[in-house]
Amino acid sequence: MKNTFLVAFMLLCTIAGAQTFIRSELPTPLSTPWEIQYGPDGFLWISESGGRISRVDPLNGNKTVVYTAADYYGGSPLEQSPLCFQPNIGSGTHGLALDPDFGISNPTYLYLVHSYNHGDTITPYTRFKIARITWDPAIQQVIGDTTIVDSLANGFDHFGGRLLAVKRNGQNYLFYSAGDNGISETNGPTCYNPQTNNPNNFVQDPFALNGKIHRFNMDGSIPFDNPIPGNSFYTRGHRNPQGLAYNPQEDLLYDIEHGDRTDDEINVLYAGMNYGWKTVRGYHGDNNIPGEDSIIANYTPHPLIANDSLVPALFSWCDTIPPTLLSPPTWCTVAPSDGLFYKSNIIPEFNNSLLVVTLKDGNVTDQQMYCVRLNPDGKSVAPSTLQQPNPTTYFAADQSLNGRLRDIAISPDSTTIYLVNNGGANADKITVYTLLNAALNNGSNLANAITLLPNPTIDDLTIRTDLNWTSAEVIDINGRICRSIPSSEKKISTLELESGVYFLRFILDQQQAVFKKFVKL
């Protein structure tokens, strides 16, 4: 009996994520989620297909669709390209942001990026827009919406689409990432004839909308101190910037973007600066593309942009010679989707780092989370050592369960990570990783009021408690829900369970989650 328990506990430490996390899934049905935010109201806010915003209880997974864009448009076959192997025009529901003052004022605001028809039924013209949605927290309902930015760039690929709302020096701003909208020439048959029509040729032009990070005021107007007056452009030279993150400690913005076969990047964003695409990528001074050193050395600043210069990547994945094979699974790029800045000693190895999730299950890549540790100033990456590699990776062993990781959020107490996927698993869902000690100690006094007998068990498990609990679930060490238990059931048969460590997650009537561990022999 003693040996069985020891083996089971070691399995828990190995599988649950480097002896740190308990994996679970919320029973929340999702459809192509893009963004997940942990709101100050204690709920998860998620953008989903069809121009929808959903609000989810992080304890029980109950979901309410609070908004559906009346003018959402999914594109038209009339906009397809006869030349292109990927002919469908861009469409979808992308970035979601909560106002920096969300919940402080009533009403308050959310912001959503989605596609709409800027033309008509005879001549459709699918573009993206930013809508400001008015939320009344008193009645917990949307009471209105308005378009604040429309006619955002679109094409056949590389859409970007992330939103970030931040308060900087007492002023609120809304940042939007726009991809280059062009399909890379190396990826197959061209979609453009001549190739000079490819939108990715215009990402260096500050007056073209694509390949940029844009900055707006919260009403959609353009800040007076943007790099070019009257222009929403904030930075340029981006390929497919799918992630935006903010470091409030040092007042730094980061973008996370896909490279072309090499050099997926994390960049520190400085107003007006040029991040190189499509002529320079990744680090400077150690370039792997012939001719890039000369471009850097002979760079001519734009005459309308003060202090304009090329800025190298803060961090680059796959900084190698471009592969000659055209099969994306063989490339060492990781396809990063989004990330967040983590500043807490609750998880010491994450402190002062960017947590970045990825989409790609390739020959040498996994769908996982990267922890990229930063130096204290936030402007450089901390050294990597044998004792403490940088970056470190998490949750790769669970990729078949987790799928393509589209976004990440974290609880206010810094103990729980929430991931959403779209594709790559049995369903789109919310996966939860809770710090093991936090899960077991959460409401520890309450957990002490619950007794499971006998524990370890061979057959039945009896629940003894005076607490009022509304439901419970048996969760295995991979986070799978084995069965749900109503509050009327006080004795659980464990005959159908394999030997190992399990958790009972109780939801109390005050919506608090309490974990109890038991062992099936």
The pTM of the full predicted model, rounded to 2 decimals, is 0.85
Model confidence pLDDT, tens digit, residues 184-193: 876 555 778 8
Mean pLDDT is lowest, of 108-117, 374-383, 476-485, for 476-485
Distances (CA, A) of 41 to 82, 138, 236: 48, 11, 35
- Residues 179 and 238 sit within 8 Å (Cβ to Cβ): yes
Interatomic CA distance for residues 55 and 233, integer angstroms: 31
- Residue 448 has a pLDDT of 77
Mean pLDDT is lowest, of 25-34, 83-92, 122-131, 169-178, for 83-92
Tell me the average pLDDT of the chain.
89
Which residue in 236, 119, 117, 118 sits closest to 180, CA to CA?
Answer: 236
- Residue 443 has a pLDDT of 52
**pLDDT over 80 at 442, yes or no:** no
- Residue 12 has a pLDDT of 33
Rg of the Cα trace of the chain? Answer: 24
Mean pLDDT of 193-208: 93
% of the chain with per-residue pLDDT over 70: 91
Mean pLDDT of 2-8: 27
**pLDDT over 70 at 441, yes or no:** no
- Residue 289 has a pLDDT of 82
- 476 compared with 17, residue with greater pLDDT: 476
- Residue 6 has a pLDDT of 27
3-state secondary structure 21-72: EEEEEECCCCCCCCEEEECCCCCEEEEECCCEEEEECCCCCCEEEEEECCCC
Kindly give the pairing relationship between strand 450-453 and strand 35-38: unpaired
Mean pLDDT is lowest, of 79-83, 250-254, 442-446, for 442-446
Model confidence pLDDT, tens digit, residues 286-340: 766 888 999 999 999 999 999 999 999 999 999 887 777 678 888 899 999 999 9
**pLDDT over 50 at 17, yes or no:** no
The number of residues in the chain equals: 521
The confidence band for 230, taking pLDDT boundaries of 50, 70 and 90, is very high
Model confidence pLDDT, tens digit, residues 56-110: 999 889 999 999 999 999 999 999 887 776 568 999 999 999 999 998 878 899 9
What is the arrangement of strands in the sheet containing 315-317, beginning at the earlier edge strand? 240-247, 252-258, 264-269, 315-317
- Residue 184 has a pLDDT of 81
- In the Cβ-directed half-sphere of 21, how many Cα atoms lie within 13 Å? 22
- Residue 10 has a pLDDT of 25
Helix, coil or strand: residue 210: coil
Interatomic CA distance for residues 337 and 179, integer angstroms: 13
Interatomic CA distance for residues 506 and 491, integer angstroms: 14
**pLDDT over 90 at 159, yes or no:** yes
